[in-house]
């Protein structure tokens, strides 16, 4: 790329003959968020309370359907366009959204045409992980605000690029960590911040979600109505296989990050929040494997059993554990977190968003939380964490204040980096030391190469946004 062309638009990015060649990108500086300057105020006017905000939902099958239904139910928000590479989904989804908002959304299979639509103010996306970063950057370049599902990136370098793009184009980016808008989780974090458990020295996130084998089948033809090249996007080419397609993409390195980067990243975000760490860890160790099912039975590449340990500069520890087979719970928790302080400990059960505390050598019960009353004001910014999180994004668009969202791109990057670091350690089979200020591992070029990925033209995440 010429030094005279430091800025590159989405259209130029797709068409220019001087675009960055596909290949392994050099590791780039990934400074800890604590060393960055505050984000600028988003450009453009705020949207009035009665003014309609036009949105597009990109990726509408599973979680994307939840996004479409959630945003369509917010007053004066119009889901104008549903976008998905699988056109077979459109008839049912269009009817569902029309029933909610009273207006028929248009459909489009190519997200680039959606970004070209000047009438669309904001995007919400639940594409596979390998699309999150590039779509966010393109949306920002097109002048859109964006709600991007977790994890915000497929690798660590992408998270840094997303922060840079957010600041350059001054738009609001919200990451789909819904627990950040949940009343009970917020109250639990407040309890920890007030020092009522003493000094929190260790947290442990749990993802005990039994998952059966999804099997193995030969590669086959692309189904009619599926735009497979667009689905692959930045990922390396592979022949179509239904066991690498809808949802199963989570369990393949080319497109997903395993359960530690799926359900796990939600709990790791809460664990980091409870530990009060706004920086990268300095040490990481992860091990595990894929047990019970053989390679002949299932094509899954990511582990169904994985343990990760992160150590921060002050010695505090964040642990995480994935158990994908039938197992016991831990302290009554299967999906959630444990927080350990010098005066007591807390469990937070993410399935019900309830928490309880215990103190002293006799483990005496302390304060607890009840499930939040979700039948209260539906526009309340706190509640279940699902629809409430959507409201924080829309309210930030109306106020023009990025601080009105509860999960920004900087925090989203710090949390997404945890499963990425763990997976690098797991795949290399060794402990690693990470220099967050430089965005590189210490004395480990092989690990550094895994901070990014090889991109497939023309879907290349730029080194400079």
**Helix/strand/coil (H/E/C) assignment for every residue in the chain:** CCCCCCCCCHHHHHHCCCCCCCCECCCCCCCCHHHCCCCCCCCCCCCCCCCCEEEEEECCCCHHHHHHHHHHCCCCEEEEEEECCEHHHHHHHHHHHHHHHCCCCEEECCHHHHHHCCCCCEEEECCCHHHHHHHHHHHHHCCCEEEECCCCCCCHHHHHHHHHHHHHHCCCEEECCHHHHEHHHHHHHHHHHCCECECEEEEEEEEECCCCCCCCCCCCCCCCCECHHHHHCCCCCCCCCHHHCCCHHHHCCCCCCCHHHCHHHHHHHHHHHHHCCCCCCCEEEEEEECCCCCCCCCCCCCCCEEEEEEECCCCCEEEEEEECCCCCCECCECEEEEEEECCEEEEEECCCCEEEEEECCCCEEEEECCCCCCCCCCCCCCECCCHHHHHHHHHHHHHCCHHHCCCCHHHHHHHHHHHHHHHHHHHHCCCEEEECCCCEECCCHHHHHCCCCECCCCCCCCCCC
Neighbouring-strand partners of residue 349: 336, 354
* Residues with Cβ within 8 Å of residue 284, at least 6 apart in sequence: 308, 309, 310, 311, 421, 422, 424, 425, 431, 432, 434
Mean pLDDT computed over 304-326: 98
Strand partners, 306: 288, 322
- How far, in Å, CA of 284 to CA of 444, rounded? 13
Whether pLDDT at 16 is above 90: no
- Residues 418-457 have pLDDT tens digits of 999 999 999 999 999 999 999 999 999 999 999 999 999 9
Name all contacts of 242-247 with Cβ < 8 Å and 24+ positions apart: 242/217, 243/214, 243/215, 243/216, 243/217, 243/299, 244/299, 246/61, 246/62, 246/86, 247/61, 247/62
- Provide the percentage of residues in the chain whose pLDDT is more than 90: 84
Higher-confidence position of 352 and 195: 195
CA pair distance 257, 399, nearest whole angstrom: 35
Q: What is the pTM of this model?
A: 0.89
Is residue 201 scored above 50 in pLDDT? yes
Higher-confidence residue of 24 and 404: namely 404
What confidence tens digit (pLDDT) does each residue in 26-65 have? 233 333 333 334 445 455 568 988 899 999 999 999 999 9
- The whole-number pLDDT of residue 350 equals 87
pLDDT tens per residue across span 129-142: 999 999 999 999 99
Q: Flag whether pLDDT at 90 surpasses 90.
A: yes
pLDDT digits (tens, 9 = 90+) for 357-373: 999 999 999 999 975 43
Q: Is the pLDDT of residue 251 over 90?
A: yes
**And the tokens for 453?**
């990925």
pLDDT exceeds cutoff 60 at 463: yes
| pLDDT value, residue 42 | 56
Output the pLDDT for position 43: 54
In this prediction, residue 382 carries a pLDDT of 37
Confidence of residue 353 (pLDDT cuts 50, 70, 90): confident
| Band of residue 332 on the pLDDT scale cut at 50, 70, 90 | confident
The pLDDT of residue 25 is above 80 = no
pLDDT at 385: 55
Q: pLDDT at position 46, please?
A: 86
Query: What domains does the chain contain, in order, with CATH numbers?
Result: 10-180+382-409 (3.40.50.720), 183-368 (3.30.360.10)
What is the bridge-based pairing of β-strands 440-441 and 432-435?
antiparallel
Distance of CA 404 to CAs 19, 385, 398, 436, Å?
36, 15, 10, 27
| Bond prior to 151 in cis (omega within 30° of 0) | yes
Mean pLDDT over all residues of the chain?
89
Residues 6+ apart with CB under 8 A from 70: 386, 387, 390
């Amino acid at each position: 790329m010429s030094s005279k062309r430091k800025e590159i638009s989405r259209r130029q990015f797709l068409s220019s003959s001087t675009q960055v060649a596909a290949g392994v990108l050099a590791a780039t500086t990934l400074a800890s968020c604590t060393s960055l300057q505050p984000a600028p105020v988003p450009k453009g006017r705020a949207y009035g309370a009665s003014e309609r905000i036009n949105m597009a939902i990109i990726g509408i099958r599973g979680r994307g359907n939840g996004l479409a239904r959630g945003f369509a139910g917010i007053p004066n928000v119009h889901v104008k366009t549903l976008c998905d590479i699988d056109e077979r989904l459109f008839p049912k989804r269009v009817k569902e959204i029309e029933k909610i908002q009273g207006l028929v959304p248009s459909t489009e299979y190519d997200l680039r045409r959606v970004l070209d639509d000047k009438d669309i103010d904001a995007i919400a996306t639940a594409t596979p992980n390998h699309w999150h970063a590039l779509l966010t950057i393109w949306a920002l370049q097109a002048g859109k605000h964006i709600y991007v599902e977790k994890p915000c990136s497929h690798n660590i370098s992408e998270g840094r690029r997303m922060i840079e793009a957010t600041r350059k184009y001054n738009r609001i980016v919200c990451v789909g960590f819904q627990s950040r808008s949940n009343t009970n989780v917020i109250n639990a974090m407040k309890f920890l911040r007030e020092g009522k458990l003493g000094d929190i020295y260790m947290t442990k996130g749990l993802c005990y979600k039994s998952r059966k084998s999804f099997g193995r089948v030969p590669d086959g033809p692309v189904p009619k109505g599926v735009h497979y090249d667009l689905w692959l996007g930045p990922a390396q080419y592979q022949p179509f296989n239904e066991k690498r397609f809808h949802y199963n993409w989570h369990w393949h390195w080319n497109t997903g990050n395993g359960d530690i980067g799926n359900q796990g990243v939600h709990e790791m975000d809460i664990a980091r929040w409870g530990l009060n760490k706004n920086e990268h860890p300095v040490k990481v160790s992860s091990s595990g494997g894929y047990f019970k099912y053989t390679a002949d039975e299932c094509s899954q590449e990511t582990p169904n059993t994985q343990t990760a340990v992160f150590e921060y500069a002050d010695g505090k520890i964040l642990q995480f554990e994935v158990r994908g087979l039938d197992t016991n719970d831990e302290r009554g928790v299967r999906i959630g977190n444990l927080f350990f302080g010098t005066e007591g400990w807390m469990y937070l059960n993410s399935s019900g968003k309830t928490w309880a505390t215990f103190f002293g050598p006799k483990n005496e019960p302390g304060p607890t939380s009840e499930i939040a009353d979700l039948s209260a004001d539906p526009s309340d910014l706190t509640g279940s964490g699902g629809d409430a999180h959507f409201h924080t994004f829309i309210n930030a668009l109306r106020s023009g204040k990025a601080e009105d969202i509860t999960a920004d791109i900087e925090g989203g990057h710090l949390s997404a980096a945890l499963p990425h670091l763990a997976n690098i350690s797991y795949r290399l089979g060794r402990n690693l030391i990470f220099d967050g200020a430089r965005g590189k591992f210490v004395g480990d070029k092989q690990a550094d190469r895994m901070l990014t990925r090889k991109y497939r033209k023309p879907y290349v995440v730029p080194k400079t946004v």
